[in-house]
């Protein structure tokens, strides 16, 4: 049974250097604008609760390998950084 997920060098390069560099300007304001939709403003429902971490790494085990995606929680963009050469 697999107990931990690790990024390969290629996945680390894509996920950390490229994706995070591209999203370094995403801010909490972007997240709040996405979360505070027009109907909430109309009804004056406040945006509350804890704010998410800036990035989420998602690992999905399949029958032939592990799919790796990284998501910017502030703007919502998801990018597949899976190193398919390991499959």
What pLDDT is stored for residue 57 in this prediction?
Answer: 86
pLDDT digits over 16-33, tens only? 778 878 887 877 776 666
What pLDDT is stored for residue 2 in this prediction?
Answer: 57
Tally of CA atoms within 13 A in the half-sphere of 11 that contains its CB: 19
Does the pTM surpass 0.95? The reply is no
The domain of 62 spans: 9-86
* Residue 44 maps to a domain: yes
What pLDDT is stored for residue 40 in this prediction?
Answer: 58
What pLDDT is stored for residue 47 in this prediction?
Answer: 53
What pLDDT is stored for residue 4 in this prediction?
Answer: 74
| Residue ranges, the chain, pLDDT below 70 | 1-3, 30-52
Rg of the chain over Cα atoms, rounded to whole angstroms, equals 16
* Residue 57 maps to a domain: yes
Cα–Cα distance measured from residue 26 to residue 52, given in angstroms and rounded to the nearest whole number: 13
The total number of structural domains in the chain stands at 1
What pLDDT is stored for residue 39 in this prediction?
Answer: 55
């Amino acid at each position: 049974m697999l107990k931990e997920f690790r990024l390969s060098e290629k996945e680390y390069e894509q996920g950390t250097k490229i994706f995070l560099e591209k999203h370094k300007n995403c801010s909490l304001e972007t997240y709040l604008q996405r979360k505070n939709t027009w109907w909430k403003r109309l009804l004056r429902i406040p945006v509350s609760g804890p704010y998410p971490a800036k990035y989420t790494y998602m690992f999905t085990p399949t029958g032939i390998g592990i799919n790796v995606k990284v998501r910017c929680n502030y703007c919502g963009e998801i990018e597949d950084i899976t190193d398919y050469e390991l499959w």
